[in-house]
Amino acid sequence: MALSGRAVATSVNSGVGPCRMTMGSDRYRGGVTGGMHQESGESRPLPNGQTVEDHSGQRAGGDSGSGQPVSEDDVPGDSPTQRTTLGTVLASGGAPIDRPSAWMWLLFTGLGFLGGQVLAAATVGIAAVLAGQFHDLTALSKLAQPPTWFVVATLAGLWGGFLGAAILASRLRGTKALVPDMGLQFRLADLIGIPIGLVGQLLVVAVYVPIAPHVHNFDQRFSEPAHRLTGGSHGVGFVAIALCTVVGAPFFEELFFRGVLMRALARLFGTWGRWVGPALAVVVSGVAFGLAHYEPLQLLGLSLFGVILGAVSYRTGRLGMNMVAHATFNGLALAATAVVPALAHGWPA
């Protein structure tokens, strides 16, 4: 289910549909970026066959100091036959470029999360004034099914904080290019995220099978967050909630948790123990994803899915596939909690 502030208590972990925003891969090592050679802040074309010394003494576009040819296929992620992981992206100079920058990214993560809470309170207050219900705001925040405008305003504030964290990280301690800094790239192969999201839902269900008999009113308590998000919405309001769930939440949550947080952790942990460092980055960011939802009963399932999303993002070096997986996961949850019951019992007028 998606992130929510204390006032909303929940929302749905959602995702982004298969939009296509493919960016050319940037190459930072040796100052080569998109066919340009950078040295001491200057750029000049790199014609085929021309050899230009980089800062480490290797020559781009020609050969290395050892006499072995260096081609564009040797740069991580540029060859269609090579698999680019987040590790190779960071090793080739991807943001955050060093550990001090990574620590700053973690600071921006905290500021973005806290700022999102403040913005959520502000946007809800403004929406309440526009709806003429400002004096009822406290009562509305305690409803099991708050009105649609309350939910949407809360999510908008939270996502503003998430987006702000990504922008700060990129502008102040990145390359100032948000898309490559966060791995915000999409490809046709990202449709593999659809079965990943489906499997994620099945795994979460399987995890709770042995737990459910030991929790009083498990079904009701487990579905409360989803019903809180969708239960008070019908017609156009439900469409707005569906868009937030399946498009908005996956985009902004993945940008924040896998774009800013996990990349900072991956830089800090590095490749320690070969796989231990990357695994720690994936697990810590996944658990943080679960904790941020403020739902104790759903914590295990959300953390598990957060780890799955982190593993996908690390493996691809991008956010596209896990955004699609996140969207699929949320879409299935939305269908299970709202659409299917409505079809079975008649859609409310």
Segment 82-117, tens digit of pLDDT: 568 999 999 999 999 999 999 999 999 999 999 999
Give 74's contacts (C-beta < 8 A, 6+ positions apart): none
Cα separation values, 243 from 160, 194, 234, 240, Å: 16, 17, 13, 5
Cα separation values, 9 from 4, 14, 15, 225, 324, Å: 5, 16, 19, 7, 24
Instruction: Report the first-to-last Cα separation within the chain, whole angstroms.
Output: 25
* C-alpha–C-alpha distance, residues 315 and 40, integer Å: 33
pLDDT in tens, 109-157: 999 999 999 999 999 999 999 999 999 988 988 888 899 999 999 999 9
**Mean pLDDT of the residues in the chain:** 80
Tokens 């001491």, located at residue: 40
pLDDT in tens, 263-319: 999 999 988 888 999 999 999 999 999 999 999 999 999 999 999 999 999 999 999
Is the pLDDT assigned to residue 348 strictly greater than 70? no
Q: Does the predicted model carry a pTM greater than 0.85?
A: no
Consecutive H or E run containing 36: strand 36-39
User: Strands 52-53 and 42-45: what pairing?
Assistant: unpaired
* C-alpha–C-alpha distance, residues 8 and 39, integer Å: 51
The per-residue pLDDT for 92 is: 94
The per-residue pLDDT for 340 is: 56
